[in-house]
Amino acid sequence: MAGTIQSWRNKALEVTAKGTIVRKADSLADLHRRRDEAEGQFYTPDWVAARMWGLLAPVFEGVQAAVERKTAVLDTSVGSGRLLQYADPDRHALYGIDIDQRCVDALSEDASAAGFEFELECAGMEEVKARNFDAAIINPPFGLHLEHPQMQPYPCTTFGMFGPNTSAISHLYAVDQALAASRYVVALLPTSAREECFSRRRLWAELNLPVETFKSEGANVRTAIYVFGPNKPVSGPQSLEVNAEQDWPSLFTGTETSFGYDRPRLTVGGVDVSEPTIHTPVTHDTRVELHHHRRTIKLKFACGLTEAKVLNALLREPVEPVEGQRRGSLKHRYPDSVQYKGDGMLMLDAYLLQDDPQEAFDGLLDEIRKAGGMPQVSPTLAGYWEKLKRKHVRAATPFRHAIKASTVGKLELTAKRGMLLEQGNVKSPAIRKGEKVQAEPMGGDYLLEKDGFRVQYRRDQLQRLFDFAGGEDERSSTEWQVVHEGLCVAFPNLAHQYREQILAAGIDWLWPYQLEGLIELLITPYGCISAWEQGTGKARLSLALALMSGRGLICVESGLVPEMVREIQKIGLPSDQWKTIDCLADTQELRAINIVSYNRLKAVVKGKRQTIAHHLRRRARVVIADEGGILSNPGSQQSRALLQLAARKLYILDGTPCGNYPRDILPLAASSAGGSRAHQPYGIRSGVFMEPRLLTSAQAASRGIDVFRERHVSLEWATNEFKDDLRGGAKREIPKINNVVQFRGWVAPFIQRRLRNEPEVEPFAGCPDPEKGTVTLNWDKEHLRHYLTPAVDFARWFETHKKERNMEGKGSNLVAVLARINAVIQAANAPHAHDAGVGKCYTPLTSKQRWTIDRLEQLSAQGKKTIVYASSPETLERLQKALADRGIEGVIFTGKGSIKARTERLDNRFRFGPAPVLLASLGVSQRGLNLPQASHIIFYNRDWTADAEAQAIARTTRPDQEATVQVEFAHLRGSIDEYMAQVVEWKQAAADSGLDWGDGATESDVFQHMDAVLEAFCHEVLEMSSRETYETLCAA
């Protein structure tokens, strides 16, 4: 039944669809302009609208027969109301939304005049939540990209700039929205949506329309009507061709489901205006009690009228969306905690950031009085607020920090070319080629000034633009300087009290600098990161922290529990003060020092669904996380188990807290010192960026993680998934720190850094810095041929992969890239164990393996003990066998076998035994072990991360080390080894610039992202392949 055209639309008939009046596209590139201007607004032809309405006629009859009420009909892109023009005010209640205010106003006037029960809103479908409708009849805009923080999680939604399920294509979102809100749905869609519609189990029919259906409306697109019922059809969906002349099928009877009396709801912007937000009765009691939940003020009212007045005065109005260039395209993501402009007035940390926190807090009470309330600060809030102010002063004070800084005041630079002093700023003065400029070193950054204009450059930027006069380099003249005096100097009385308590506890086995470090950690009111360099005594520090707490939990890697026990025995602590936790029974009674491994923490108790961490939750006063850099991945099982402990204080001990990328420090900071706080303003996930202006207005407030990314993470592009948490998704990242001086100021109050060769540390823990060298080896011809097969395959795949991803508007999938390049690494370093896609293994000893064996034999003959690091256990076993053939004992230390067995083998044969060689895998032995017996290290292959190599070297640079450790890196000429080494160098330079105030420069002068490194590698591989083929042909 087609229905009869009603005459109730009058004003709406005068509104012309934008799609019919927008200028036609002049070219393919101009289509985007036309789509944005039209906003997908093309009205449905009358004959199509009549047939769509007719499909629902039995449903209207069914509602009337079952419950004797009006049928609630929804259109989420109502336009001029063409799909609703056949409605009857006695039988239908109309609901609709549209982004065109002209349409909404005109249709509302017509519906009101006709006597309809209706609700029409000017809003986009992405910001509306709909439910309890009988039927939906829709013709949504096609192919528009929607993004909004209030989108519902439907099957069509994807990751957007506002997080998971905040992005979708308009017509697909409209279908899922209608299905969630209505029992019956009739949708006019492009046929490109066919696959998605057929994947919805409620699809009853696909009715394909003629090609010319929308030509009169200014569009040329293949369309179909997709009809959905309240449940899955018995015989599956039909697919038919239909037109204006033929009869359409009758699909429904109106009895397919039952109808109720639930009131239809359209909630716009997350606010349901049909429900009151204040439920407190009006009593004329003007008391307003101020309480707190954690660091947020909570208001309690005795009168609803007072509540309304005070909340309106404080919160003022909702924050306004920050829109992009296209209408409705939001470009700013608010934190979850911000909804109103006055939300900052309820954040205690915002008051702590004011010049006078108490005066600012009193201002809140004055605002409540002005609004008609009588503020009463609860005793709990009053005490908490006083304590919070005292804590903030300590939390914002930097730890003691000594750096090796330049003694040179200014440098003379020579411009390599003509340029502007500040690149891209036409207002900055020009510099001629060869002109001399003065630069002032500022600890990694350099300040240049000319004609009163000042600009700062990083060293790597400076080296691209200027030559240092006469080869001058301020780094050649350095001395140790204290940049922050620390908490002991800032709070001498507290330091004295803690010093007395430490002596009373019998802790007399700390060196002087360790004692000062312990006092600082006790003074700081929250957790922090103790980034002491390896070999400076973090084990003793953790034991002292646990003892001072009275009940501390020390978490270590599984293989390091024996190391910690050995340290306790060396100190001579009584057995009743410490214990190791190996099973659930060990958690029943805790001692002053409790040692548990991360693997044990995350282990599920047999017969229960709870972990050991669950049973230890909130039972330790402090938690000390040895090698706590694992928290840089908060989603790992180890990290979740560690955070589940919920200690009052979390101390993270790690000598390389940002060995991969500097952004890895952010989750460590949030886990230990807290996030979105006055002393640590960056939150993770959706925490607010804490700043003083929040007290005035939270308009355009940002997430902490977004501000951190914009300030300090160097990206060429990134997906929304990566922007959400700085971990997932794809990105093109350069391993360097932006705004490094600001970064150092941020980490100063929560990272305690001690270096092995500081003047105060060197007499106790100092040893010579290791000497590093690279040995570049030539290929064996057959090995090169074996290697080139997977290398060339990777190079070709990578080029294709990049083109495909670029066409999709995305960058390289790093997970897929690293998975494939692993075959190249294996072909270079372990060809005997992996065929790497060649079809067979390469079994002879490679040139690198022969060099390693020869070098170990040479060092063994000199009486030296050597550690060989490699990633592949099979390679280490092969080296062990080859050494045995030469009468040299090599001890294997890999993840194979039990921890106890390999530790006994390490101690009995290498540490305190005759074996001159330790063959260790990087994944097992890079952290925690003390191996000062070794004076030489050979890296058989490289790692992608800087901290893995730094930690591996640090096993030997301990206080007991007397020799200068020699480190040799074995590279095959032109292989993946050289490119991995380059990435590690950049990452290490970036970490040094942030923590140790290095200049961040490397030998290459120019930082690159991983894609550029891999592109250079692919180019090199293809050149090597061409040369190898040419040489083979010449020999033939």
pLDDT at 420: 87
Distance of alpha carbon 349 from alpha carbon 524, whole angstroms? 17
Taking the C-alpha atoms of residue 451 and residue 143, their distance in angstroms, rounded to an integer, is 54
- Secondary structure element (H or E) that encloses residue 642, with its range: helix 637-644
Q: Write the single-letter amino acid at 389.
A: K
pLDDT at position 1034 is 43
Per-residue model confidence (pLDDT) at position 1027: 56
pLDDT tens figures, 670-697:
999 999 999 999 998 889 999 999 999 9
Which range has the worst mean pLDDT, 613-627, 695-709, 855-869, 1007-1021? 1007-1021
User: How deeply is 150 buried, as exposed, middle or buried, from its count of CB atoms within 10 A (0-12, 13-18, 19+)?
Assistant: middle
Return the amino acid letter for 430: A
Burial of 9 by CB count in 10 Å (0-12 exposed, 13-18 middle, 19+ buried)? buried
Q: What is the mean pLDDT of the chain?
A: 86
* Amino acid in position 661: Y
CA quadruple 458, 464, 469, 474: dihedral sign: positive
β-strands 158-160, 163-169 pairing: antiparallel
pLDDT value at residue 767: 74
**Domain residues of the chain, as ranges?**
23-251, 287-395, 408-476, 485-765, 771-1030
Rounded Cα gap, residues 76 and 188, in angstroms: 12
CATH of domain 771-1030: 3.40.50.300
Residue 362 has pLDDT above 90, yes or no: yes
Residue 81 is given by DSSP the state S
- Pairwise CA distance, residues 96 & 99, whole Å: 11
Higher pLDDT, 335 or 468: 335
Confidence of residue 1006 (pLDDT cuts 50, 70, 90): very low
Structure tokens at 654: 């790690």
Of 319, 1024, 400, 347, nearest in space to 687 by CA: 347
Secondary structure element (H or E) that encloses residue 49, with its range: helix 46-55
Instruction: Name beta bridge partners: 777.
Output: 972
Burial class for 939, CB neighbours closer than 10 Å (0-12, 13-18, 19+): buried
- Report the share of the chain in percent with pLDDT over 90: 51
- For strand 411-415 and strand 436-441, is the pairing parallel, antiparallel, or unpaired? antiparallel
739 contacts 717 by C-beta, under 8 angstroms? no
- CA 907, 908, 912 angle in degrees (round to 5)? 70
Q: Burial, 588: exposed, middle or buried (Cβ in 10 Å; 0-12, 13-18, 19+)?
A: exposed
Has residue 472 got a pLDDT over 60? no
How much is the average pLDDT of 881-891? Answer: 94
**Among 533, 411, 383, 392, CA closest to 469:** 411
CB within 8 A of 383, min separation 6: which ones?
none
* Whether the predicted pLDDT of 871 surpasses 50: yes
- State mean pLDDT over 162-172: 92
pLDDT band of 846, cuts 50, 70, 90: very high
- Dist CA 17 CA 42 (whole Å): 6
What gap in Å lies between CA 163 and CA 149, rounded to an integer?
Answer: 8
CATH 1.10.3720.10 assigned to domain 408-476? The reply is no
- Give the DSSP letter string of 492-543: HHHHHHHHHHHHHTT---S-HHHHHHHHHHHHSSS-EEEEEPTTS-HHHHHH
Looking at the chain, the whole-number percentage of residues with pLDDT higher than 70 is 87
Residues 6+ positions from 441 with CB-CB distance below 8 Å: 406, 408, 410, 411, 474
Task: Tell me the C-alpha to C-alpha distance, in Å, between residue 986 and each of 662, 744, 760, 981.
Answer: 11, 18, 29, 9
Local confidence band at 715 (pLDDT 50, 70, 90 cut-offs) = confident
* CATH code matching the domain that covers 23-251, chosen among 3.40.50.150, 3.40.1520.20, 3.40.50.300, 3.20.190.10: 3.40.50.150
How far apart are alpha carbons 653 and 144 in whole angstroms? Answer: 50
Burial 254-283 (b: 16+ CB within 10 A, else e): bebbebeeeebbbbbeeeeeeeeeeeeeee
Structure tokens, 601: 């923490």
Q: What is the fold of 485-765?
A: Rossmann fold (3.40.50)
Q: How confident is the model at residue 374 (pLDDT cuts 50, 70, 90)?
A: very high
CA distance 77 to 54: 19
Q: How confident is the model over 4-34, as pLDDT tens digits?
A: 445 798 887 877 755 454 555 444 344 444 4
Collect all residues with Cβ–Cβ distance below 8 Å to 177 and sequence separation of at least 6.
76, 125, 128, 130, 152, 154
Q: Where are the beta strands (DSSP E) in 378-516?
A: 401-406, 411-415, 419-420, 430-431, 436-441, 445-450, 453-458, 466-468, 478-484
Residue 1021 — φ and ψ, nearest 5°? -60, -45
Same fold for the domain at 23-251 and the one at 771-1030?
yes
Residues 53-85 have pLDDT tens digits of 999 999 999 998 888 899 999 999 998 898 999
Answer for the pair 355, 335: CB distance below 8 angstroms, yes or no: no
In this prediction, residue 524 has a pLDDT band, given cuts at 50, 70 and 90, of: very high
Sorting pLDDT into bands at 50, 70 and 90, what band is 1025? Answer: low
Cβ atoms of 93 and 72 within 8 Å: the answer is: yes
Q: What is the DSSP string of 664-699?
A: GHHHHHHHHT-SSSSSS---STT-B---GGGGT--T
